[in-house]
Structure 1
């Protein structure tokens, strides 16, 4: 897949993410997609395969009343595309020992996308 195709898939994924469209997100992924999320260097979530990703995406969807990822920059590194992201989201529920529902969360992070025949094969989020 060329750089334009990879960027189109990333754009479709982020658009679906921002719209809480889990099916749209899944449509960009390969059947064996591997997902990892790191926060402050600690692994906080992971999944292997579309169905496991779906479960995580549905859980994440329920946590927020609104959310938006904005691409700050994008660069190719070998077979991967690295995307610097600005994120903002408003919690829909209270987080135990954490922020309350209605809290606005704003942070920056980085997503690393890898690709294969079936779409996005690996997604690593770091914040």
Structure 2
């Protein structure tokens, strides 16, 4: 059960379907972003997605999803293929640069929903690629 919800979550991400991603999340989801604060709840998650969609166009490839037998924990490793569309606060100026970045996510799951999303990537590598 854990793999399926993670796979639906990432399929929605690649389709640009924020509502589909939200459907995979528990109401009180904890979103741990790389180099950022923990955001709690679907509203904060949706706000984050809107910001990201404004600044970046991304597609995930080479996806490998893992889950424990109990369906309570999962992980995914993938490549982020992106275009930097609009300058994000505190980061280099956006000029349509493209990037390819290995990344990973970790999940906690309960009752078939994602209760925690943790995403990691190498920010220094991303900055190097877009600078």
* TM-score bracket, shorter-length normalisation: 0.7 to 0.9
Is the contact made by 2:3 and 2:66 (CA closer than 8 Å) also made in structure 1? Answer: no
Q: What are the equivalent positions in structure 2 for 1:2-81 lying under 5 Å apart?
A: 5-38=1-34, 43-64=35-56, 66-76=57-67, 79-81=72-74
* Deviating 4+ runs (over 4 angstroms): none
C-alpha distance in structure 2 between counterparts of 1:70 and 1:97, whole Å: 24
Change (3 A) 1:46 1:101: farther
Q: Which runs of 5+ in 1 are unaligned?
A: none
TM-score normalized with structure 2 length: 0.80
Alignment match, 2:87: 94
* 2:100 aligned partner: 106
Whether contact under 8 Å (1:17, 1:25) holds in the other structure is: yes
Asked whether the equivalents of residues 83 and 96 of structure 2 are also in contact (C-alpha less than 8 Å), the reply is yes
Number of matched residues? 118
Where structure 2 has 5 or more consecutive residues not aligned to the other structure, the ranges are 122-131
8 Å contact kept, 2:7–2:65: no
RMSD, aligned CA: 1.9
